[in-house]
Amino acid sequence: MPHIYAAGDVIGFPSLASTSMEQGRIAACHAFGLPVPPGQPTVNFLEVPPEQLPTLLAHDPQTVIKHLPAGAPTPEFIAERVKEATTAGRVLGGGKRTFDEKLPRYLHRLTMPTLLIWGKEDKLTPTAQHKTWLKALPNATVRLFDNAGHLVLDEAPAAVDAISAF
């Protein structure tokens, strides 16, 4: 996708956006990091019991389950999960917040075309949050995908196509 400067599954929208400040486009899946109106909270997944994660992350839990070890997890699998949790913990302030209080004051600077991708069944970052992002980003559009949750790129091939076409 040579015409897209940055694309990603966004736990840290500021990182993605900072790579696109000068040129190009941003394609972001279920952007996260803005304070949102009541009734649309981002779930702090660091507090979610592991057995509940498949239904939180995907419309079809098998999307997640098929990637889990059948027996005892390998040390490599555990190391990757620790790495993910450590990164998430930094972004989430050790689990004390689900947004970056500084982010809103910078988003107006992102004038490049931005595509926001969301699964309509996203339980982690509810789909209604896209409205907050559309208000904050001056040149953003949104695409919502049926039968897809937080892992929209895994559950909706059309989402990948939308990014390619963008």
pLDDT digits (tens, 9 = 90+) for 107-164: 788 888 889 999 999 998 888 888 988 988 889 999 999 999 999 999 999 999 998 8
Nearest Cα residue to 146 out of 161, 127, 129: 127
Does the predicted TM-score (pTM) go above 0.85?
Answer: no
Look up residue 53 and give its two tokens.
């994660």
C-alpha 44/C-alpha 93 separation (Å) is 11
Residue 111 main-chain phi, psi, to 5 deg: -100, -5
How many Cβ atoms from other residues are within 10 Å of residue 154's Cβ? 21
List the domains of the chain with CATH numbers.
6-44+100-165 (3.40.50.1820)
pLDDT digits (tens, 9 = 90+) for 10-31: 555 555 555 555 557 788 888 7
